[in-house]
Amino acid sequence: MKILIITGASRGIGHATCQRFQEDGWRIYNLSRTPCPLADVENIAVDLTDPVELDRCAAPLLATWKQAKRIAVVHNASSYHSDTVETVNLPALMTAFQLNVGAAVALNQMVLPFMPRGSSILYIGSTLSEQGSPGSATYIMLKHAVVGLMRATCQDLAGRGIHTACICPGFTDTEMLRSRMGPDPAVRASVEARMSAGRLLAPREIAELLFFSANNPALDGSVLHANLGQLRH
């Protein structure tokens, strides 16, 4: 039995990832406040900003997870904050840190004791995991932290046969991005013009890269940028 444990898979990249792994016969568990609508996905309703709730909700599943011959953990849950270093709200930052980083640490600690060799831990970063942009201070800090967590995962699990990588999408056609762009077609056109391919990424393209990464231990410790050749201005 191959098991995918994924956070935040109700839509976008997470939804597409569930679909891709299902096609290869994986059993899917989605941890999020909102369920993934795909058939046969087992949804565990949990507020990932609450570490106590994560432990309570996931604990009953451990007996099943322990039977897996391979496990892929995909840390996908995220949030976006538009702010600057001068306007960062510290309580909101701490909540966002728990969602983006703390929950990943807690889930890793829960699953790692029985992860078989050949398993993987994959993180979703961003183009902003390794660069800056004005007006996205909290998001930039958190996505840099995700890369740091992946690199720590690689070093600390050496010799265990569990590989890790951080996939960093560029502008992807998700609900989160569409809400940031708004309804003006000119805004979307300006974003698409920043991609060498002249279009947004499809969530399925990122899902394919996650599936490839789960099956390729040679990528251990890698930061993989998938951004259609995002242009620099």
H or E element, residue 186? helix 185-192
53-70 burial code (b ≥16 CB/10 A, e <16): ebeebbeebeeebeebeb
As assigned by CATH, the class of the 2-171+202-226 domain is alpha beta
DSSP β-ladder status, 42-45 and 163-169: unpaired
Q: What is the largest CA-CA distance in the chain?
A: 51
pLDDT at 214: 98
pLDDT at 70: 97
What is each CA distance from 152 to 38, 157, 158, in whole angstroms? 33, 8, 10
pLDDT at 173: 67
Instruction: Tell me the HSE value of 223 on the side-chain side, using a 13 A CA sphere.
Output: 19
Q: How many CB atoms lie within 10 A of CB 167?
A: 27
pLDDT at 29: 97
Q: What is the pLDDT along the chain (233 residues), one digit of tens a residue?
A: 999 999 999 989 999 999 999 999 999 999 999 999 999 999 999 999 988 888 888 888 888 999 999 999 999 998 888 889 999 999 999 999 999 999 999 999 999 999 999 999 999 998 888 877 888 899 999 999 999 999 999 999 999 999 999 999 976 665 665 566 556 666 565 655 566 665 677 899 999 999 999 999 999 999 999 887 776 65
Q: What is the pTM of this model?
A: 0.90
